[in-house]
Each structure stands twice: as C-alpha cells, then as structure tokens.
Chains A and B, each alone.
Chain A
Amino acid sequence: MSTPRDASGRMPGVAEIRAVPAAAWRRACLDAHAHGERFGGLFSHLPASGPPRLRAVFSTPAGERLITCEATEGAVETIVDVIPAAGWDEREAHDLHAISFIGHEPLRPLIDHHAPLEAWTVPTVGEDVHQVAVGPIHAGVIESGHFRFHVVGERILHLDVRLSYKRRGLETAAAGRSLGDGIAYAQRACAACAVTNTVAYAQACEAALGLQPDDHLRRARTVLLELERVYNHLNDISAICAGVGFAPGAMAYAALKERAQRLNERLAWHRFLFDTVSVGRSAISFDRQEAADARRELAAIGQEHQLVWRDLRFVSSLQERLEGVATLSAADAERLGAVGPAARASGLRDDHRIHSPHLSYSGFSVAVAEAASGDVAARTNQRALELHQSLELLDDLLTQPLEPGTVRRCGEEASTAVGRVESPRGVTVCVVVREGDRLAALHLRTGSYANWPVLAHAVVGELLPDFPLINKSFELCYACADR
C-alpha cells in the first residue's frame, strides 16, 4: 500500500517548516489560519544555547506546517485574539520560558504555582459573588487539580482551572534520549491515552526517519487504538452515571469496562495496553484463534452494552439530569478549538481518523448524532454511538490473524515531524524534533489539553453541584495535560 504524498511531495507527518523572525510570527500564524489551516498547538522550547524557540503547528488536508521563530527579544505578538485555542499554550510558554505575548492581556499564569491568586484568576465582582476553591485533592478517586469557582449562590459565573500539580517534566526529561527510548516518556504521560500518545510519537519518529508502516503494523496500531477507545468510552458512561448518583448504571458499565480491560490483557498482556507500541515495529501479534476469541468477547460486550443502554434510556431520573446541562454550541466548540467526542456532540464533523493514512481506517466516516445538542446528554450519547462504531471496526479488523509488522523506507529523513492521532478524548498532536537519532525536543498536546478551556467555558451559568457531572461528560485527563 503506498502512502499518498501531499502536493509538495512530502511524506505525511513531515512538517513543512517556515522559520520567521519574531516580528513576523503573528503574521505567519494568522496567514496559515486565514488559509483554513487548523491550529494544532503552540510550544516553546529552550535549546542548549540561544534564545527560546517557539513552534506553532498547523494542519491542512495536504499536510503539516510548522511555523518557528526565535524569541530573540523575549516577546512576540499574540495570536489569541484570532485563535482563542492558543490561550493556554501562550500562558504556558510565558510561565516556562518568560516569553511575552504582546496583546494577550492580562497574560495570566497557568502553570506557575507561585503566582498570587489575583494574578491567575479572573476578577469577578458583584453582589454576593464569592469564590469556592476545590482541590488539588478531591473527594473521590480522582486526579489532582485545582478549580476556583466564582459563584453567586449555586450559579457558576466563572471558573479558573489550575492544573500542573502532576507536572513531571516528561518532555524536558525526554530531550537527549534516543528516539526509541523516548516513547516511554510519551507513554508515561497518561495511562488512559497510552496507546494514542505512543502511536502519535511513533508516527512522528517514523515520518522523521523517512519510514512508513506496513499493513500489519497499521492494523496492529488501529486495533490497539480502538481497544483503548472501547474501555475508555465504557468508563466514561459509567462515570456519567456515577456523576448523578445512578449506581446501577455506573456499576453495569464499570463491569463492562473490566471485561474490556481483561480482554486487553489477554490480547496484549496489559490492561492498559502498555508497551504495545514501538518505533518502527509492532509489539503485538495474534493467531486466528486469539483473534476469533477476541471477536467473540467484543461481541458479547457489545450485546451487554446494548441491553444496558436500552434500559438506561428509560430511566427518567437519569435522563432528565443530563438534558440541557452545560450546552456547548457548535460555534463555541469551533471557536475554542474543541476536539473529540465533546466537539462531535456539538455537531462538529471532526474526527482525525478520517485523515490517518498510516492507520487502517479506510472507509471510516465520522459519527455524529442527528440531535447533537451539545449538552451532557449529547456527550453521553456520542460515547454510545462511537462505542458501537469502534466495536464494528474491531470486529472487522479481527477477522484475520495479525503478523508482526514492520516499516519500510519510503522517503527522505527530516529533522521535524508531527504525529496526530484521535484519542478517546480528541486529536492528540505530537511534535518530534531530532538531532541524529536523539530527541532534541518532544511536544505533546493531547485532546484533554485542547478541551480543558472548553470545559471551563461550558460550565458558565451552570450549577456548582452539577460540576462533577459536567466534568465527567468531558472526562479529561489531568495527567495528559500536566505531562
């Protein structure tokens, strides 16, 4: 199977690099945006010598574009007024490498935890307005992060999200490692997105090395990605039921998730599919018998899900709690750069699986419900819709045994490449910059990172006690965003 090249003859994933002086940064980014290229992240990086470097990723149907500049004066003009999705990226770059974004005012600290409260929260004043601080340690078995709600009574006026409590500095630590070893850092970012993050990393490395996966490798990675989606979506439906205290639904889906994870373990020796992805080869294979067993178990999970799901549809005490809560309009989803099931539940036909030539998604079409109303109910239904789709995909992918896959050479080597993979939470972007066989820089912008500001927007006007439910309907990872 040959890989389609873009108009310029580049391999998918290899970025066209446009280096501009700091003064032309904004112009270059806005030009890309004006040409319909989609923003995929803005990263700062401090090389061993010289000023900090900025990189912005844009994608077109034809390929990847990377706009880079050296922040020689420590400042560039902001792009956030035109591309609001870059808000967190600019705040993070400022905290990490003291780069100012002129016009982004106030440039509130995002990951700098030494900043005083007034600096990182939005002043919200008025009669009876008060703040409610939650976290970093939460009441349940939940990841650590801090939320500052500005409320009147129970009504949320504004939410400031402060994450990074789990910041392990994985990207910094990965720099200097070999390309092969670097994958461990991408995997460690998040267990629930381990396959996505490692496939995105492997794809970026392979593109940079001029390699492309063979059919076995494509199929292996697609199977792993869909297995990851299945257990995550089952988990999310369970969590949404738990969010309104509906224990029978929460437990039924927790049990289904357990079955899916046991299947993961049988097929790939790990409940979260750790260590199943490597650069340049596949780490899993299965024979006809194993594939048939897996298909049978997935069919059983699908049947059970249908049964329980149908039952849930008639539990009015559940459904009425989901409808009309935290509605995200399609326009807001688009403007804020929402991704994944959350974006599709608002009606955006956006799923990176249709642009994945290095995976086995031929014939895939984006699933969006007719009534994509953008509320918690729509996000719940979207999970069920995609679950059905993933189970069908897996049923198809598992009709044959899987042999160990490999890669073959098909193009020039490049210094910089981008991997993009649709995770259970939305598209994840991984940028790899290499020097020989070493990583010069690794950047990971996951679906969760893109959606956290969207969540903060969606809760405005909602009730504080509904926050856990709304949060679960997005089900974002903290670990992925913190890295």
Chain B
Amino acid sequence: MFVLLNHLQRLRRATPPSPVRARGSLAVRHVDAGSCNGCEHELAAATNPFYDLQQYGLNVVASPRHADVLLVTGAITTRMAGPLRTAYEAMPEPRLVAALGDCALGCNLLGDQAELAGPLEAILPVDLRIPGCPPTPKAIAQALTAALHRLATD
C-alpha cells in the first residue's frame, strides 16, 4: 500500500499542471449512444493521473439530474435515440450537449442506415464539438476545461 501511494505521488509530481485553473465546476453525464467503445476508453482516461480532469472542476456524475453537460458518444443508433432523449429531458436547465468523437459528429459513420438515427445534431441541440476518432484524453480535457473557462468568464 505504501509503495502504491508513493508511486502515485511520484506520478502526480511528474505530470505538468494544466495552465487553466479551476473556476467553478461542471457536472458531466456521459451517454454511449452507439460507440465502438474507443471514446469511452478515452473519456475514462481523461480522469487518469496524467490528465486528472477532476482537479479542474470536471466531474462525471451518475445521473442526468445532477448534470450540466450531456456528453454523447457514438453513432446514435435507433435503439439509443429514445434513452438519449430521456436522459436529456431529465437534466435541469440550463444544460449543454457535447458531441464527443467523430461518430457523434456524423463524420465517417459506418453501419446500416436502418439502424442509425444520428448524427447527434439530428436529435439534440449540440453546444460543444470534440472531434477525433477517438479524441485523445488530452483533447477531451482541453475541450472541457476550455468550455468551463468560457462559462466562468462569460
């Protein structure tokens, strides 16, 4: 246990802090609407000790009712369009919608037209776009901290 904590402490010291300091916070609810799981891996990675999204006031929350931002990944399948709308409707206002990854943005979608309802824009108003296949954790962290910064200084 001691080695483990020491190890993490070393890692923390070795990771350069982001120039953006936390002002305020954003609660993020993620919805996978038909991804290949790459975007999920990278979103989760953005909370690892190298990027540490939490220290900038960004938290992934368990319920849309606690969320400021709905972060959507994937091609938006016909089967997920309904649950996605339900999650959006459950959010308190004001609320933001972010499209994470090329699929959610409608770029280079693959699949059977009968199974796809996307892109996200066709379903919900999109406020924030994070391109990439998948976007790197760094890009995710930067896009989200920049959005928080904009909101805090508006």
Contact = CB atoms under 8 A, between A and B. Distances in A.
Interface of A: 113, 136-137, 139-144, 164-170, 172-173, 184-185, 188-192, 194, 235, 248-249, 251-252, 254-255, 257-258, 261, 271-272, 274, 304, 307-308, 310-312, 314-315, 477-480
22 contacts: A139-B63, A140-B60, A142-B32, A143-B37, A164-B79, A165-B34, A168-B112, A169-B111, A170-B111, A172-B115, A185-B110, A188-B36, A191-B41, A191-B134, A194-B36, A248-B8, A249-B4, A254-B48, A274-B38, A308-B4, A311-B1, A315-B1
Contacts of A257: 45, 48
B3 A311 contact: yes
Contact of A314 (B1, B38, B63): B1
A477 B40 CA distance: 11
B30 to A, nearest CB: 5
B143 to A, nearest CB: 16
B3 A168 contact: no
Interface string B63-104: 100000000001101011001000100000000000000000
Contacts of B62: 139-140
A191 B35 CA distance: 9
A170 B77 CA distance: 12
Contacts of A166: 32, 34-35, 74, 77, 79-80
Given A137-B87, A141-B40, A143-B40, A165 B110 contact: no
At the interface, is chain B mostly helix, strand, loop or mixed?
A: mixed
A121 B40 CA distance: 29
A32 to B, nearest CB: 31
Contacts of A165: 34, 77, 79-80, 83
Interface in B2-54: 2-5, 7-8, 11, 30-45, 47-50
A252 B4 contact: yes
A477 B32 CA distance: 13
B133 interface: yes
B114 interface: yes
Contacts of B79: 113, 164-167
B136 interface: yes
B31 A248 contact: no
Interface string B125-136: 000000001101
Interface of B: 1-5, 7-8, 11, 30-45, 47-50, 60, 62-63, 74-75, 77, 79-80, 83, 87, 110-112, 114-116, 133-134, 136-137
A168 B37 contact: no
Indicate the member of B36, B37, B75, B116 with the most A CB atoms within 10 Å: B36
B92 to A, nearest CB: 17
A166 B118 CA distance: 12
Given A167-B115, A479-B37, 12 more contacts: A141-B44, A165-B77, A165-B83, A166-B34, A168-B34, A194-B36, A255-B48, A258-B45, A258-B48, A307-B7, A311-B2, A314-B1
Nearest to A312: B4
B116 A168 contact: yes
A315 B136 CA distance: 33
A275 B62 CA distance: 34
Contacts of B8: 248, 251-252, 255
B35 A143 contact: yes
Contacts of A308: 3-4, 7
A252 B49 CA distance: 8
Nearest to B30: A141
Contact of A477 (B37, B74, B87): B37
Question: What are the 8 closest A-B residue pairs judged by CB atoms, nearest first?
Answer: A169-B112, A191-B38, A168-B111, A139-B62, A169-B115, A254-B48, A172-B112, A479-B37
A172 B7 CA distance: 48
A341 B112 CA distance: 32
Contact of B110 (A173, A192, A477): A173
Contacts of A307: 3, 7
Contacts of B43: 141
A304 B11 CA distance: 12
Contact of A191 (B5, B7, B37): B37
Contacts of A190: 36-37
A272 B37 CA distance: 11
Contacts of A255: 8, 11, 48-50
A317 to B, nearest CB: 9
A198 B131 CA distance: 24
A329 to B, nearest CB: 30
A479 B35 contact: yes
Contacts of B3: 307-308, 310-311
B31 to A, nearest CB: 6
Contact of B4 (A173, A185, A258, A311): A311
B45 A189 contact: no
